[in-house]
Structure 1
Amino acid sequence: MADSWTAREAIAAVVDGGRFTELPDAAPEVPHRTDASWESDGPIGWPGYGQSLARAEEHTGERESVVCGTGSIGGTDAVVVSFEFGFLGGSLGERTGDRLEAAYTVARERRRPLVSLIATGGSRMQEGMRALAQLQRVARQSALLRGSGVPQLAVLRDPTTGGGWATLGAGADVILALPGAQVGFAGSRVRPPGADPGAYTAEGQLAAGQIDAVVRREDVRDALARWLRHLTAAPWDGPPEPPGSLAPYADHSRTPTGWETVLRARSPERPRADAYLTAYFDRVQEISGDRCGGTDPGMRCGFGLRRGRSIAYAAQCGTATLPAGYRTAARLVRLAGRLGVPVLTLIDTPGAANDAEAERAGAGAAIADLFAAMATVRVPATTLLIGEGGSGGALALAAPGNLWAAHDSYFSVIAPEAAAAILKRTPDRIPETAGQLRLGPRDLVDLGIARGVVS
């Protein structure tokens, strides 16, 4: 069943006080379009199209399938785009493209975040390829807005399918969806027979890493307000300061051996990422998923507010990192770079997941992509090693030249057990091997890998 919200009801539900200023209709120059092409039955002469438009206008009170304007959400000024599903199924036609292009232009010129409240069945078949070509217009405008450093947020209503999902929806930086909403490129009438219906729902897309959260209708305004605060707050000035160590139980009266350092980092008593993030940030908003079909609960990524300023974070949670985790972190780092928000990363993993499923999911390519994102990000980045630093699977998350270490941590080219096995040493020589690897926090400083040990 289609979303019962009309376009203007959706706007009223999220805009402060319902105060919304609609943008005037705009019709920029589009190749091959003439006034004559819109006489009667549209650009391809679809029989009865003109009558369908008239009925849609009479039924909804709208002149097109999308309403665009400006308003404030939680105190943050934004450009709002809302689809009217009652107008020919919220389909995208040429005049829809006119309105969307105008909205993106206003967002870019005024540097206001763009919020899309989407309910669409896809491109308008009665306009043929002229309708489908609007997806290129929208994609271009989205890319221009992304390049200008202005965030895009989408709320997926029911349904969000076809080109609307593949441009405004999936192309947004943060994607929220209503419970049970139909979400997918293929609409219900064009899917393969026997296709799993769960894959085309908001909940299915969340599990597949394609959206960030499923939000109840009554919570949408608050969720958007929180996200807008985090994405538009003044960024932290310079590299984020590394969080302080949270390891009061550790005995620092003497320098531990290498093996003792490893055991300390592996201790179940040691603080994990959750504790560090809670202590460091006032509030956080988390993204979810790699947009390639996967999620990793062992990698937390999002934006936090510290003393009113925004910092992006990616934090490993002590488990072997999945390919989806690396891709999610790379997505976060690149988004932070576009928005000019500095990055904090917390390293804590025994290494990259190395089972057959991880290899099939592209572990090598995912790690390489995160290395590239961290190496090229144009905002300050800081890394704190809070536990285990297992080889390249941990190093991929490290900020080059700005790594710090907690007392209860280690970083190693390889795990001591694996090193001993490769060297054909007996298990009783694992502690000796750990010492030879020089993997402790002070060793990392002496080797020029870490800048200091956080106390």
Structure 2
Amino acid sequence: MTEVTSEPAVAAPEWTICPGCDTLLYAKRLARSRQVCPDCGHHGRLTAPERLAQLLDPGSASSLGLTVTTGDPLGFVDAKPYPQRLREARAGTGLEEAVVCVRGAIEGNPVIVAAMDFRFMAGSLGAAVGELVTEAAQVALRERTPLLIVTASGGARMQEGAIALMQMAKTSQALGELDEAGVMTISLITDPTFGGVAASFATLCDVIIAEPGARLGFAGRRVIEQTIRQKLPEEFQTAEFLLEHGMIDLLRPRAALRPTLGRLLSIGSRRPMGQPIGVPAELVTDPADLAARDPWQVVRQARELGRPTTLDYLALAFDEFEELHGDRLARDCPAIVGGMARLGDVPLIVIGTQKGHTVAELTGRGFGMPTPAGYRKAARLLRLAAKLGLPVVTLVDTPGAYPGREAEEQGQAVAIAENLRLMAGLPVPIVSVITGEGGSGGALALSVANQVLAFSSSVYSVISPEGCAAILWRDATQAARAAAALRVDARQLLGLGVVDAVIPEPAGGVHRVPVAAARRLRSALAAGLYRLADLDGAQIVEERRRRFRSFQAAT
């Protein structure tokens, strides 16, 4: 009888070098930190199984049971025949293809996940990968369960030629079907994500999250530099660069991914939700119940630097908020903040203008004057609300839209007009609140709502009093006279029907007791949403259009 012996197992190395900072690291320590360097924060690559283990609730993952066959449509041979490369990739990874598709849960929220693995032929998009991602999307569609795609790819699989190219269209079509059905989609961008994956399903999801340092782009740095000899900045195509340029929503370190995804899925899942609780709201609907005030003094109080900003109200009046960034075109305007939130048990989208309390904050936020990118970001969030069936709350405090040369070059008027049309036909409830200044079309672009409220020391006007005085009286010092003539204060706006109700400010003003102001805002929003909760999409749109159709010249 012959004794069979096996080769001794090769021990895993105890030490490794971080590619980000060249620090020698203890391998077990690096594994405990999810392959994130404790010294420089470099996020190392994870396999698809490792990624799923980190993101999904323990014991929740189960295979979708999808089976596809990877063919060799071109009979392709480079240094090796394509079938040989496939066999080697399978042997080296233990995977059938470059994506793993499972059903699971994240913090109790059901989700379908397609996780790519860069080890398998650089995560390239071939016919099998395209089919698996499409089939995962079809499962999400049938079950009306959110889809999470974790990307890691060098691009389309060259060995399959034009067949690989067609997968970009096929997967994009699958994402489009989920849009039509109102099923939430999220992509998690990991390093690297390029080419055909970047130009299809990776960037078509409702929310795009990226890990620090993750690179995303259509053409890689080497291709760009060698093709057109263009010198690129060091941070080019990194997640940080993309966030600044409005291409992604969120930048999250690996340890924060699971709770972030849990919040997004909880708010964005189309699960039965209880109606907003009908609570007594401190609202004034009769102008006679408000004391007459000097309009110019109201203007000055509306501009008080201590007044709570949108971010202040989000922290004080709402229960959850996950800010989303970017217009997905070129920029992220800091003068508008928005994202997915919760008011009690009600998931919603919140959008608001953002000023600040200090010179530095005001300067950084463009003094609350949105650029075209800000209005386009708002439009993107409004469309997301319509897709997911979420009500919208807007908080407005702006002198007006940013009037600079760049804004005009980027289509400021068009961006505002598009928002007006979009909000007019949005089939979900919209409640808008003028919290400070409501300046001209820049404010109206966020205020085409079913119900428009205003704090008692807020103003809303076609132009600033100073602007009106400079044009009509040719004297900016006549601003107080212009404010009175324009009837900009909340009491007179209520009489004109421009606002539907006024939220009385606590004694001393909202800037002195912001917590009390936030409580009043919360109850007012809850009452507004409660009133609209039983209306269907057509009724909501009809009511809103009727509201704005009613503004006509007095007879």
Pair in the same fold by TM > 0.5: yes
CA distance in 2, matches of 1:376, 1:72: 34
CA distance in 1, matches of 2:242, 2:97: 29
Secondary structure of the residue that 2:350 maps to in structure 1?
strand
2:73 to 43, 47, 51: 43
Secondary structure of the residue that 2:200 maps to in structure 1?
helix
Q: For residue 262 of structure 1, report the CA deviation from its aligned partner.
A: 0.9
CA distance in 1, matches of 2:319, 2:330: 31
Aligned in 2, Cα 1:240/1:344: closer, same or farther, shift over 3 Å? farther
1:399 aligns with 2:448: yes
Secondary structure of the residue that 1:203 maps to in structure 2?
helix
CA distance in 1, matches of 2:324, 2:51: 23
Asked whether the 8 Å contact 1:370–1:396 carries over to 2, the reply is yes
Asked whether the 8 Å contact 2:116–2:151 carries over to 1, the reply is yes
Query: What corresponds to 2:489 in structure 1?
Result: 440
Alignment TM-score, normalising by the size of structure 2: 0.76
Secondary structure of the residue that 1:181 maps to in structure 2?
coil
CA distance in 2, matches of 1:244, 1:43: 69
Query: What corresponds to 1:9 in structure 2?
Result: 50
Aligned in 2, Cα 1:236/1:265: closer, same or farther, shift over 3 Å? farther
Structure 1: give runs of 5+ residues left out of the alignment: 28-34, 246-251
Q: For residue 190 of structure 1, report the CA deviation from its aligned partner.
A: 1.6
RMSD: 2.2
Query: What corresponds to 1:178 in structure 2?
Result: 211
Query: What corresponds to 1:148 in structure 2?
Result: 181
Asked whether the 8 Å contact 1:240–1:344 carries over to 2, the reply is no
Query: What corresponds to 2:471 in structure 1?
Result: 422
Asked whether the 8 Å contact 1:409–1:440 carries over to 2, the reply is yes
1:157 aligns with 2:197: no
1:330 aligns with 2:360: no
Aligned pairs for 1:217-366 (under 5 A) are 217-232=254-269, 234=272, 237=275, 254-318=291-355, 319-366=368-415
Query: What corresponds to 1:139 in structure 2?
Result: 172
CA distance in 2, matches of 1:242, 1:338: 30
CA distance in 2, matches of 1:359, 1:77: 44
1:118 aligns with 2:151: yes
Secondary structure of the residue that 1:288 maps to in structure 2?
coil
Rg larger in 1 or in 2? 2
Percent identical residues: 37
Asked whether the 8 Å contact 1:262–1:410 carries over to 2, the reply is yes
Query: What corresponds to 1:62 in structure 2?
Result: 95
CA distance in 2, matches of 1:135, 1:275: 42
Asked whether the 8 Å contact 2:276–2:346 carries over to 1, the reply is no
Deviates more, 1:201-210 or 1:318-327: 318-327
Asked whether the 8 Å contact 2:55–2:258 carries over to 1, the reply is yes
CA distance in 2, matches of 1:6, 1:81: 13
Asked whether the 8 Å contact 1:16–1:71 carries over to 2, the reply is yes
CA distance in 2, matches of 1:413, 1:236: 39
Alignment TM-score, normalising by the size of structure 1: 0.92
CA distance in 1, matches of 2:245, 2:123: 25
CA distance in 2, matches of 1:236, 1:196: 50
Q: Which amino acid aligns with 2:255?
A: E
How many residues are matched? Answer: 438
Asked whether the 8 Å contact 1:81–1:117 carries over to 2, the reply is yes
Q: For residue 285 of structure 1, report the CA deviation from its aligned partner.
A: 0.9
Q: Which amino acid aligns with 1:412?
A: S
Q: For residue 239 of structure 1, report the CA deviation from its aligned partner.
A: 12
Q: For residue 165 of structure 1, report the CA deviation from its aligned partner.
A: 1.6
Asked whether the 8 Å contact 1:234–1:310 carries over to 2, the reply is no
Structure 2: give runs of 5+ residues left out of the alignment: 1-18, 20-42, 284-288, 356-367, 505-555
Asked whether the 8 Å contact 1:347–1:397 carries over to 2, the reply is yes
